[in-house]
Amino acid sequence: MLSIVRRSLCVPALLPVAFVTAVLSWAGVWLARGAMGATPDYLADVRHGCLLLAGTLALALAEPLHTRADVGRGLLSLRFARSGGLGLLPRWIGLGLACLPMLALAALASGGLPSRPLLLASQLAVLAAGGLALGAVFERGRLVPCMLGLLVLGHLRPWIERASWGPAVSWLLPDLSALEGSQGLLHAALWSAAALVLARARLRCVAGRG
């Protein structure tokens, strides 16, 4: 797990992205404070959004998210050949821990801690699991837009469900705006587990062919 955190934090692009994210977090909260009628709840929502974006970018840039590439290099194929496992659960936990430095920097720049830390942790856990599933399918260059798309579509799921075609596709998306409470945590756990199972199935096929 520590190797996952180390590989996540040693990405060259992480430092400039962290700086840009910190500046955006500061600017977002500063602009929100200057808005007419800005309430403490509104500022807390802006800060939460800044932290969530920072965590999503940290996940998207993390090298261990690219599980398909690890299979191609033999890092996971050898493990699969020896034990039949792929170690996705420790990788998932390690990715979550690797978000902490970027979150701390964004929190410092935005002027405070998140008002709903459990919601933020649930959202990032779901995004990490979804990222592992996406990383088993897509190449590295496509993961950043895919992760940002998952972030946006996860918040738009309530509106997608209302469309005529919504019920056919909405079950594929996590409901990132409703991950609080017992039902929200259950939804996060079930969706994350399903994403990890899909990632495992895809990688077993790739490793088996290798």
Share of the chain above pLDDT 90, in %: 47
Token representation of residue 75: 């890092």
How far apart are alpha carbons 124 and 96 in whole angstroms?
Answer: 7
How far apart are alpha carbons 155 and 173 in whole angstroms?
Answer: 9
Q: What's the pLDDT score for residue 45?
A: 92
Q: What's the pLDDT score for residue 84?
A: 44
Q: Span 2-6, mean pLDDT?
A: 76
Q: What's the pLDDT score for residue 83?
A: 43
pTM (two decimals) = 0.88
Q: What's the pLDDT score for residue 77?
A: 47
Q: What's the pLDDT score for residue 70?
A: 65
How far apart are alpha carbons 56 and 124 in whole angstroms?
Answer: 7
End-to-end CA distance of the chain: 25
